[in-house]
């Protein structure tokens, strides 16, 4: 059988791992897919660095030339970025009738619909298992394995940097800044960490998951995004006392008001599978009508783990898979109504710095009662040491509310703030049940 000819654009950590495995494990991969897979072309920034890895593959100075080369069947895009070379090379490959495999979450989140339509029109594949949650095959599971299910919710720990920082803060009682610095030292966080810790990376991945789960077009702009900068070790300690852990989750769920997509720090009960996911590990939990709950846990990043996802996509192509990019024709992807964050309903963890005098709590409780917010628990305690920046004469009070709406709790807290019984801004962390 004629080999499947692969062109790889980008030889960073992931590209290098893909190339090494496709050449080093060629016989094993052929046995598993029934067809030889051969790297026939490579484009990357640094030819000298790439040279020792090239083998029989041809070198291309320009990824666009590789994308259009008659010597490849599959274009593997591992350049990154949602514009520039990555976008134009993927579009060129599709136009030239090549299937595309990519790890590029930003490209899919921004231009997924348009690229899927182009691939469909050309009768080629656009595969992106590696774009979400690294080595966890969540794309295949949502798109294929759960085809008999109506999916209600997908939520996940999709950013290893954030989960590492939160895990360390919890384990060591350290502050956010210290743990971020540590993550940077260890190579788990970028010098400019904003894309990860402010939730944007998670949002890109969530846009893709939501699209697959609900048969809707990727809609990055509809996602409510908050990062983890505001989380303190006090919050983690209180969470621990109350039976929770704090995780940065991406959540996409059906609600009565439309599809709700949100990224924010979340309290999850310690008994859940997500709470047990530590360090840089990723996890995705899916709730659906037939399977109920399915959780996948694995490495969210790293060259080899991400290469595993890329190779899985290539193997599907070698076997002649014909699954559409988002599991259904691009024309049928709905522009589903999106629920605004103000309509979100759930429980809330609220940490307030309350003036230490009689009547303070009563005043707060009265404001909350007026908004019909009821409490699961109220905890007032002396901090072991006064937290940095704590106002003298104020004590931390933690409220766990029963389900209420985002608008209701925000308005109630605004009223509390205006009432002058608290110092600073209230800390608010949403609670995710089950």
32 HSE (CA, 13 A, CB side):
14
Q: Taking the CB of residue 3, how many other CB atoms lie within 10 A of it?
A: 15
| Sequence ranges of the binding site for NADP(+) | 9-16
| Sequence ranges of the binding site for NADPH | 105
DSSP 91-154: HHHHHTT-EEEE--HHHHHHHHHHHHHHHHHHT--EE-GGGSSTT--HHHIIIIITTT--EEEE
Q: What is the dihedral of CA 172, 173, 174, 175, to 10 degrees?
A: 150
| Minimum CB–partner distance for residue 76 and a second copy (Å) | 12
Q: List Cβ neighbours of 25 (8 Å cut-off, separation of 6 or more).
A: none
Phi, psi for 403 (deg, rounded to 5): -60, 135
| Sequence ranges of the binding site | 9-16, 105, 190
Give 17 or 124: the residue with its C-beta nearer to a second copy: 17
For a second copy, the binding residue among 7, 16, 193, 327 (CB under 8 A) is 327
172 binds a second copy (CB under 8 A): no
- Positive or negative: CA dihedral 65, 71, 77, 78: negative
Residues belonging to the chain: 434
328 binds a second copy (CB under 8 A): yes
187 binds a second copy (CB under 8 A): no
| Minimum CB–partner distance for residue 69 and a second copy (Å) | 23
Q: Are 364 and 280 in contact (CB under 8 A)?
A: no
**Residue 410: helix, strand or coil by DSSP?**
helix
| Minimum CB–partner distance for residue 289 and a second copy (Å) | 7
* Contacts (CB under 8 A) with a second copy, residues 331-370: 332
Give 182 or 304: the residue with its C-beta nearer to a second copy: 304
For a second copy, the binding residue among 53, 54, 242, 296 (CB under 8 A) is 296
Active-site residue, selected from the candidate residues 98, 205, 270, 425? 205
Q: 205 catalytic, yes or no?
A: yes
For a second copy, the binding residue among 27, 48, 52, 147 (CB under 8 A) is 147
Burial of 359 from C-beta contacts in 10 A (0-12 / 13-18 / 19+): exposed
Q: Are 422 and 355 in contact (CB under 8 A)?
A: yes
Give 246 or 416: the residue with its C-beta nearer to a second copy: 246
**Residue 412: helix, strand or coil by DSSP?**
helix
* Contacts (CB under 8 A) with a second copy, residues 22-81: 25, 28-29, 31-34
**Residue 182: helix, strand or coil by DSSP?**
helix
294 binds a second copy (CB under 8 A): yes
d(CA 13, CA 354): 49
Q: Which two tokens stand for residue 415?
A: 């009223």
Give 20 or 343: the residue with its C-beta nearer to a second copy: 20
For a second copy, the binding residue among 92, 136, 330, 341 (CB under 8 A) is 136
For a second copy, the binding residue among 172, 289, 372, 414 (CB under 8 A) is 289
| Minimum CB–partner distance for residue 304 and a second copy (Å) | 5
114 binds a second copy (CB under 8 A): no
170 binds a second copy (CB under 8 A): no
| Minimum CB–partner distance for residue 120 and a second copy (Å) | 11
3 binds a second copy (CB under 8 A): no
269 binds a second copy (CB under 8 A): no
Give whole-number Cα distances, 127 to 75, 144, 323, in Å: 10, 13, 9
Query: Which residues is 99 bridged to in the sheet?
Result: 74
Give 85 or 283: the residue with its C-beta nearer to a second copy: 283
Give 34 or 81: the residue with its C-beta nearer to a second copy: 34
d(CA 104, CA 173): 35
| Minimum CB–partner distance for residue 37 and a second copy (Å) | 9
d(CA 155, CA 133): 12
DSSP conformation class of 390: P
For a second copy, the binding residue among 88, 121, 177, 319 (CB under 8 A) is 319
Q: Taking the CB of residue 218, how many other CB atoms lie within 10 A of it?
A: 24
Query: Which residues is 426 bridged to in the sheet?
Result: none
For a second copy, the binding residue among 58, 149, 230, 380 (CB under 8 A) is 149
d(CA 119, CA 113): 10
For a second copy, the binding residue among 53, 64, 174, 273 (CB under 8 A) is 273
Binding footprint of a second copy, residue count (CB under 8 A): 59
- Positive or negative: CA dihedral 295, 102, 225, 282: positive
Q: Which stretch binds a second copy (CB under 8 A): 167-175, 179-187, 292-300, 353-361?
A: 292-300
276 binds a second copy (CB under 8 A): yes
Q: Among all residues, which ones are annotated catalytic? A: 205
Applying CB under 8 A, the residues found at the interface with a second copy are 17, 21, 25, 28-29, 31-34, 129, 135-137, 140-141, 144-150, 215, 273, 276, 288-299, 302, 304-305, 307-312, 314-316, 319-324, 327-329, 332
């Amino acid at each position: 059988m004629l080999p499947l000819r692969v062109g790889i654009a980008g030889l960073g950590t992931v590209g290098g791992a893909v190339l090494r495995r496709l050449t080093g494990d060629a016989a094993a991969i052929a046995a598993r897919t029934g067809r030889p897979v051969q790297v026939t072309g490579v484009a990357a920034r640094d030819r000298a660095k790439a040279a020792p890895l090239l083998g029989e593959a041809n070198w291309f100075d320009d990824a666009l030339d590789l994308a259009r080369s008659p010597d490849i069947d599959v274009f593997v895009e591992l350049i990154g970025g949602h514009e520039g070379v990555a976008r134009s090379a993927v579009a060129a490959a599709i136009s030239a009738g090549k299937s595309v495999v990519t790890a590029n979450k930003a490209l899919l989140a921004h231009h997924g619909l348009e690229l899927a339509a182009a691939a469909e029109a050309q009768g080629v594949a656009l595969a992106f298992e590696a774009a979400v949650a690294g080595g966890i095959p969540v794309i295949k599971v949502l798109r294929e394995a759960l085809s008999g299910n109506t999916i209600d919710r997908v939520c996940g720990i999709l950013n290893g940097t954030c989960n590492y920082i939160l895990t360390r803060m919890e384990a060591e009682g350290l502050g956010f800044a210290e743990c971020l610095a540590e993550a940077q030292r260890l190579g788990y966080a970028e010098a400019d960490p904003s894309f990860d810790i402010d939730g944007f990376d998670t949002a890109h991945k969530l846009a893709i998951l939501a699209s697959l789960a609900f048969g809707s077009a990727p809609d990055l702009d509809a996602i409510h995004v908050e990062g983890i900068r505001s989380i303190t070790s006090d919050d983690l300690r209180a969470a621990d006392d109350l039976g929770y852990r704090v995780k940065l989750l991406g959540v996409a769920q059906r609600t009565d008001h439309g599809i709700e997509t949100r990224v924010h720090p979340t309290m999850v009960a310690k008994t859940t599978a997500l709470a047990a996911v530590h360090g840089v590990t990723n996890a995705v939990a899916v709730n659906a009508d037939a399977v109920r709950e399915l959780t996948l846990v694995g490495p969210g990043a790293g060259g080899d783990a991400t290469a595993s996802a890329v190779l899985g996509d290539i193997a599907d192509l070698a076997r002649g898979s014909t699954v559409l990019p988002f599991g259904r024709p691009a024309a049928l992807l709905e522009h589903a109504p999106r629920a605004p964050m103000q309509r979100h309903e759930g429980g809330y963890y609220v940490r307030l710095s309350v003036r230490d005098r009689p009547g303070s709590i009563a005043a707060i409780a009265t404001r909350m009662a007026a908004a019909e917010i009821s409490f699961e628990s109220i905890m007032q305690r002396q901090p072991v040491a006064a937290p940095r920046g704590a106002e003298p004469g104020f004590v931390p009070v933690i409220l766990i509310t029963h389900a209420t709406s985002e608008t209701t709790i925000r308005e109630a807290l605004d009223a509390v703030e205006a009432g002058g019984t608290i110092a600073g801004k209230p800390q608010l962390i949403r609670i995710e049940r089950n």
